[in-house]
Amino acid sequence: MSGRPGDDWIYSGRGVAPTLAWSFSLDTAVVDVRLGRETGEVIAADASGGLYLLDRRGQVLEVNRTRQRLQRVVWCDNGTVGAAVFDDGIVASLDRRLQFRWTREMPADVLSLSIDPYGTHVAVSMEDGFSTVLTSENKKTSRFETVRPLKYLQCLATSAEFLAAADHGLLGRYSLKGDPRWTESLWSGVGDLAATGDGKHIFLAGFSHGIQCFAGESGASQGTFVTEGTVGLVSCGYFTKHLVAATLERQLIVINDKGNSLWQVTAPEDISRVLMSPLGDWIVCGFASGRIIRLDNNRWSLFIRPSFLGRWHLPQIARSCHGTGPPVSGRRCRRRLDHASIDVDSKFPPERWDKR
């Protein structure tokens, strides 16, 4: 679970370097790695058909060696259920022990999979251009067709909708019934899709075009973060617009919402998946070899540490302290944030602070 001598690369990059929190190695190469944002749990699948559930400390909670040819896996935010795709066209629901609750054969090969935060619905896209939404009890909610097959899906936490993108040419926001709220044409390829939990900010890994930003409410382009290398993977926090990206040249990059690089390093091997925590203070990185690591750095986050204050952004708290914003009653506390300290009023006593 701990680091190994070859981990010096973590501290050789530019910017505010993180610390290695834990490390775990799968039996074989990584197929997929996903995060339960509320529980901090990591679910992973390897090329031998193994399913692994790790807690926030990197300890193994469950293992299921299915002997199936797994392609994708997802885990809901509250950690109750998940879903997986194997043999190209079979979708399976997973219980807390990573056992199959039910399986369903799809009419075409599955391209992408996403589950809503409470595990009540699973969105499935297929290579024939059709997408299906299933309930946790294997009931079909909707089936609809798009002009291009959807390769990337992400269910939203604050509405019964999901975001979707094709490998090129299409970005959209759809209800669970399949009704499009909006669609936009894309003029570049897409390597990955990430969005904040409320869907207000969307980020696409645009390969040589960098990280492309879009407004979640309308689909309008909001610019591009230009980075070194060819961006193939991207992830962001639940509230913040902090981003972590990985390039095809093995660059691992953390940037803030202004596009400024917080940390950049060259990894020793190919990166299969990067995931950012809800508050942006740690990342999970899965390597092609089968190794998964978590890197912690509180100074990346612009949010107050107590998870109960998740929606209180630093400027709002600062305005309250200076009498220019709504007051926040309660105990006086002092928190250190990125080289500086700020006095804030917290309505939660210190014993309820999140100690992560």
**Each residue of 181-240: pLDDT tens digit?**
999 999 999 999 999 988 999 999 999 999 999 999 999 999 999 888 999 999 999 877
List the structure tokens of 185.
């044409």
For the record, the structure tokens of 259 come out as: 């596009």
Q: Residue 140 has what pLDDT? A: 96
Strand partners, 268: none
What is the chain's percent helix, strand, coil content, to nearest 5?
5, 50, 45
Residues 6+ apart with CB under 8 A from 8: none
What does the pLDDT average to over 52-72? Answer: 96
11: pLDDT confidence band, cut at 50, 70 and 90? very high
Question: How many angstroms separate the CA atoms of 337 and 342, rounded?
Answer: 7
In the beta sheet, which residues pair with residue 110? 126
Q: Is the dihedral of CA 144, 147, 152, 154 positive or negative?
A: negative
Q: What does the pLDDT read at residue 65?
A: 95
Q: How many angstroms separate the CA atoms of 141 and 144, rounded?
A: 10
Query: Residue 1: what pLDDT?
Result: 56
> What's the residue count for the chain?
356
Contacts of 174 (CB under 8 A, 6+ apart): 131, 144, 161, 162, 163, 164, 180, 181
* Strand-pair partners of 164: 153, 172
pLDDT tens digits for 315-331? Answer: 333 333 333 344 433 33
The alpha carbon of residue 225 and the mean position of all alpha carbons in its chain are separated, in whole angstroms, by 18
**Per-residue pLDDT averaged across 146-164, rounded?**
96
Domains of the chain as residue ranges with CATH: 5-300 (2.130.10.10), 307-352 (no CATH)
Question: If pLDDT is split at 50, 70 and 90, which confidence band does 3 have?
Answer: low
